[in-house]
Every structure is written in structure tokens, then in C-alpha cells.
Amino acid sequence: MGAGAPNPLYSEYSILNSLKMVPLLLFYAFSVLVQGYNAELTLHPKTQFLFPEGKSLVLPEPSDYFSSQLVSTPLPTNSFFQNFVLKNGDQPEYIQPYLIRSANSSVSISYPSQNITSDFIEQIFRPDLTISASKNPKPNQRHVISSYSDLSVTLDLPSSNLRFFLVRGSPYLTFAVNGNTSISISTVDPIRKLSCDSSFTKYTIRLRNRQTWILYASSPIHLTDNVSTIKSGGFSGVIRIALLADSDSQFEKILDKCSLTYPVSGSAILGSFAIKYKWEVNGAGKLLMLAHPLHLRLLSKADASVTVLEDVKYSSMDGELVGVIGDTWDLEAESIPVSWHSIKGLNKKSIPEIIRALGNDVKTLNASNISATSSYFYGKLVARAARLALIAEEVSYPKITPVVVQFLKDMIEPWLNGTFGANGFFYDQKWGGLVTKHGLNDTAGDFGFGIYNDHHFHLGYYIYGISVLTRFDPAWGKRYKSQAYSLVEDYTNLGPKENQHYTRLRCFDLWKLHSWAAGLTEFPFGRNQESTSEAINAYYSAALMGSAYGDADLVSVGSTLAAFEIQSAQTWWHVKGDNEIYAPRFVKNNKVVGILWSRKRDSILWFAPAERKDIRLGIQVLPILPITEVVFSDVDYVKELVKWALTSVLKNRTEEGWKGFVYALEAIYKQKQALNKVRDLSSHDDGNSLSNLLWWIHSRK
């Protein structure tokens, strides 16, 4: 179902507001009943508002790599293939289970090995096979992205007459050859043996490095080889190449049997706490794909059209990739409660202490004294204040509410009406999305917001503040509704039918099932994300905004994305002692990943070394919210994590703020000890407050 009903509220206003939510929740329940649990989510068209157009001097030119029919539409800025459209377009991308690199009118495929230390795990790109046209009149011509979808990208090499269907999770590299073209396949390791079957449609390529690759052709093809190159005569048709990851004869038979059916694209349909994958396929037979560990956990057990092949496995730093037969998958996430207040309620005896802390925290609110101009740090101050209003509502202390509401108005309105002279939001026509004044001329401005870094992080804080303000002042919310939706749709838009001005789900990766934060920056290790908790906050806040505006669809979209983000965080960021995804050497030294890259796991942070375990924990916890309880529901893991982080806290005598997050998690299993530690703190991170920490600790039951 959708958002959970909030806990009992104490103020007269809150009771009234809760009653107003009843029709919304009944409507949402009815819509799920009628449409079905896995029905596709859509957002009803809103009055679409655009911030003033901004002319960026630092954004790359999308027309360098996207086909002409694509550049007129909003384009992805945090996608799994982003390296293909940045700078020279020649950095590898991880299209599970292979690394793919496109350069000089050729495509290289690598089944990556791993470099493993106690501080990081990284994939090593080595071009096992490189495919090109034998006679290319323009060998340096760039590739072109002719189409893309949630699960795939089509990459054309125009001068080579080659089109590659790069579909995530396919054990085959599939490409079409046009114009009776001669192809060349080169290797970095000597070819030990090239053999074919009697039909000349299947070749086995054995390399000196002990790899064996199988090549399948849609019609007879004649290949010859020398030490490191395989060449063909003229050919038109489809070729598929797959690594034989296991020498067992049954493994090869499965590859043979499924080689005739190939996907050309794949889409993901978002439902209520569910995603359906659908692949467009050519050829007769059954589609073989590979699922990562979270896929396997979420695959619907009731779907008889899907068969898991436990013996078909490829290695990956994301965990073993396991074979799945079926051209549609249904993934079902656990539903999560999205409520304004604590999930379990507060200890009534604690309310006086929380009220005292609220009074002190509210005294610090003065919009005229705010020096922050960064969209990130400014947004954190907005969200921090909004928490005070909700805590006051939960403890029935309405005295401070007018002060907080006015502060929020003074802080938020200048960003929505364009009167905050030091910074502001603008609309970029080139890629189709929001940028900031700081980011128009500086790639580092606002932590790269102007080149599409961290959009869900920054905007999530504003959306949280707007949601709370709308809850307490619906008339204000109505006045700024169009601007508010423009902010939230920058990262939650489901497609052009909902809002033609923004790309689809800017940050969220519907294959990995979590977000990426790095935008239009070329990185050798692909996209990355540091803070899962800030990503969760972005979607949780979107759900709250839907609640505040009576928009059941936005409630469902936000809560569904938050649920998948949570399960991804628990799968790939949270490193439990019994973790079987990462190598033991890394697991022993790390209880949480710092920066998770497409093809690397790092213990460092962008702003702190690996030794600062308290900060590494904190960046995966902030901001502390009711949803935090769901993220850290595994108490045994929390104990491991806190014990590990406390060794850093003891050494850290100067920065008090980050300690609060460690103590907050410690309160899950040692409430009194953590409470005493929090009371002794002299300062707090700007995304937190003493009253919020006390609220959290006193809501442990």
C-alpha cells in the first residue's frame, strides 16, 4: 500500500490535518485495489512551471554523441552509459557482466578481474576482445547513441556499419552488421585455438589467458585467425559473443540453446513497491539474462514465467550474477511506512526534555543571519528547521510553530520566486533540467549541481521543507505548488507524458535499484554515490510532499523509490560480518562502503579519509528521520557498525557534530548510554539538532 497513516498527533491542527488525509489514503487504497499491486505508476499532469532559462558555460554538448532525434528531448545525466557521451566517450562502462569500451570506431569487451585490498575493490579493464570493421574509411569517427531505455543503450559505429545492442544483464554482447561488412576481432592475449561447427554459425575462441569465448552468427560466417586477430569475409546479420564462464558442458549447452533469442532494449515499469522488467526481443526461443543478488531476492515467487538457473553464474563485484530465463521479470520490494512522525511513538516521560531542547534550537532560527549560499548547505538548514516543527507537533508544543513556519517561508520563498540574489535555480535547455546560478560558470559550484551532480541530495532537503511548510500552511503550499513540483519532478519525473521538461528519473537506476549522484563528469570507474541516506531522504520527502498536497501518485512514487533505495543500501553499502558479496579482506576492514562506484568500492569519502569511520557512518545516516529506523532495522548489523565506528570517535576530540550520528545508532540497542553521550555533545552537524537527536533516542522502544 502507500504511505502509512501518521502516528496520533496532539495539536488541534494536526488532528484536523490527519482527518484531511483519510480521503487521500482511501483513494490510494482503492486505486491499488482496482489497478492491481503491480500497476504502472503515473503522475497526473500538473501546472508545469519552468524556472528562468540559464545559459551554462560549462556543460558539455550533447549533440556530440546523441542522434539528432534525441537531442531535442531531455537527456539522461546520471545514466549507466554516461561515460559514452562525455569528453572523448572512450571510458569503459559496466554493462553487467562485462565492461564495454567504445573508441576509434571499435568496441572492446572485458570480463573484468578485480584488484582487492582492505581499502577498496576495483574492476580492472583489459580489452579481451575488440570488434571493428576491417576496412573503415573513417577509423576515428565517434560513435552515436541512437536509442536508450531503462535497461539498455544502442550504440552505433556509423563508419563501420556496426550497431551494438548493449543490454544490461545479458551474458552475450550482441551487434548487427550491415552492408556486407568484413569484421575484425583483435585480442590482447594470443589466440590459442579457433574452431567452428559444421554450419559455420558457431565459433569457439580459446585465448592464452584461459578464457573461452563463443561466437554465434545468424548465418554462416567464415573466420580466419592469426596470433591476435580474427577476420571475416563480408557479412550481414547478427553476431553474439559470450564468455564461457564455466567449462561444464551443460553451461555451454544453455548458451547454445539461448543464443537465437536476443534483446534489443529493455524497459522498467514502476508499480506500487514493484518494478516490472520487459525486454524487446528478436529471434525464436527463450531469453537468457543475468540477475544480481538484489534481483534474486526481489523476484516474485509467484511468477511462473521466470526460471532461475542456479548453475549459470558470472562473477561480479556486485555479487554473483545468476542466469534467469524469461523476457519479463516482476520485482517486489517490501513496503515501507512513510509517516511524518516517529513510527513507534515517543516515551511520554521524555517530552519535557525534548521541549526544552526545541526551545533552545528555535532560538537559533534567524533567516537574516544565514550566511550559507550553497544550494546544499542552505537546503540542509531548511530541512533542519522543518524537523523542529514536526517534533513540536508530535510532542504537542505548538508555541514554537509560528516561528519555524515564518523561518521556513523566509528561507524557501527566495529560491522559489528568484529573489535570492546570491544564488538561485535556473532551467537548462541543453540537457533539460535544473541548474543553479553558482553552477552556470563553475563546474565545482554547489558541488557540481550545475553539471547535474547530487540533484536528489540538494533538492530533497528543499522538498522536505516545502512539504512541512505546506502541511502547516496549505494556502502557502497552494501558492507555490507549481514551483514545488518543478523541483521534485527534476528527479522523480517518470517520463515525457508527465513532464516533458525533465528526463526520466534523473538519478535513480532502475537496474541497480539505487541512485547515482555524479552527473556530467567523466569518471574512469563510472557513476558513483556516497550518501544513501540523503538519497532515501529525497524520495521519502517526495512522498511527504505528495501527502501534503493530497497527491496519492506522488506518495506512491516517492515511497516506492525510497523502498528500493533502502534495500540497495542494505545490500551494497552495509557490510555485515557475514557478507558474501565482497572479498573477506575488504569485509574485515569495512562495515560500510564510503563511495560506491559502478565498478569500484571505496572506503574513502569525497571529504574525509577512510580512518574517519564516524564520518563514514554519519554520511550514511543523515538526516535522521522516521524512515531511518527502517534503513537500520538489522540490530545485529547496527551493533557491528557502531562498535567499528566508535574506535574513530574516541580519537576524534575536535569535531563533535559527527559523533551524534554514531550515538544515534547506538541508541537502537543501548538507549541510556547513548542518551548520556548525546547530552554531553557541545555541537551538532548542521543537518541535525539536539532536539532531533533526543526525539530519535526517546522514540526507541
DSSP per position, 307-372: EEEEEEEE--TTS-EEEEE-SEEEEEPPP----SS-SS---GGGHHHHHHHHHHHHHT--GGG---
Task: Determine contact, residues 471/465, Cβ cutoff 8 Å.
Answer: no
Q: How far apart are CA 604 and CA 597, in angstroms?
A: 12
* Residue 132 neighbours by CB under 8 Å, 6+ apart: 104, 105, 106, 107, 139, 157, 160, 162, 183, 184, 186
**Which contiguous run of DSSP H or E holds residue 407?**
helix 401-417
Alpha carbon separation from 617 to 212, 317, 574, 604, 666 (Å, rounded): 42, 22, 10, 12, 12
**β-bridge mates for residue 435, sequence order:** 426
The catalytic site residues sit at 454, 530, 534
Cell numbers found for residue 377: 548547505
Alpha carbon separation from 263 to 170, 269, 419 (Å, rounded): 8, 17, 50
**β-bridge mates for residue 173, sequence order:** 241
**β-bridge mates for residue 214, sequence order:** 204, 242
DSSP per position, 203-261: EEEEETTS-EEEEEESS---EEE-SSEEEEEEEEEEEEEEE-----HHHHHHHHHHTT-
Matching residue, cell 556530440: 64
**Which contiguous run of DSSP H or E holds residue 146?**
strand 144-148
Task: Determine contact, residues 624/674, Cβ cutoff 8 Å.
Answer: no
φ, ψ of residue 609 in degrees (nearest 5):
-75, 170
**Which contiguous run of DSSP H or E holds residue 286?**
none
Matching residue, cell 569475409: 233
* Residue 25 neighbours by CB under 8 Å, 6+ apart: 2, 3, 5, 552
Task: Determine contact, residues 121/480, Cβ cutoff 8 Å.
Answer: no
Burial of 247 (0-12, 13-18, 19+ CB in 10 A): exposed
Q: Return the ∠ at Cα 553 (arms to 552 and 557), rounded to 5°.
A: 120
Q: How far apart are CA 239 and CA 258, in angstroms?
A: 13
Q: How far apart are CA 641 and CA 619, in angstroms?
A: 13
| Residue ranges in 518-551 assigned as alpha helix (H) | 532-549
Cell numbers found for residue 613: 569511520
SS3 at position 386: helix
Other C-beta atoms within 10 Å of 493: how many?
25
**Which contiguous run of DSSP H or E holds residue 290?**
strand 288-291
Q: SS in 3 state form for 545-563?
A: HHHHHCCHHHHHHHHHHHH
φ, ψ of residue 656 in degrees (nearest 5):
-75, -30
Q: How far apart are CA 464 and CA 327, in angstroms?
A: 38
What is the separation, in whole angstroms, between the first and last Cα of the chain?
25
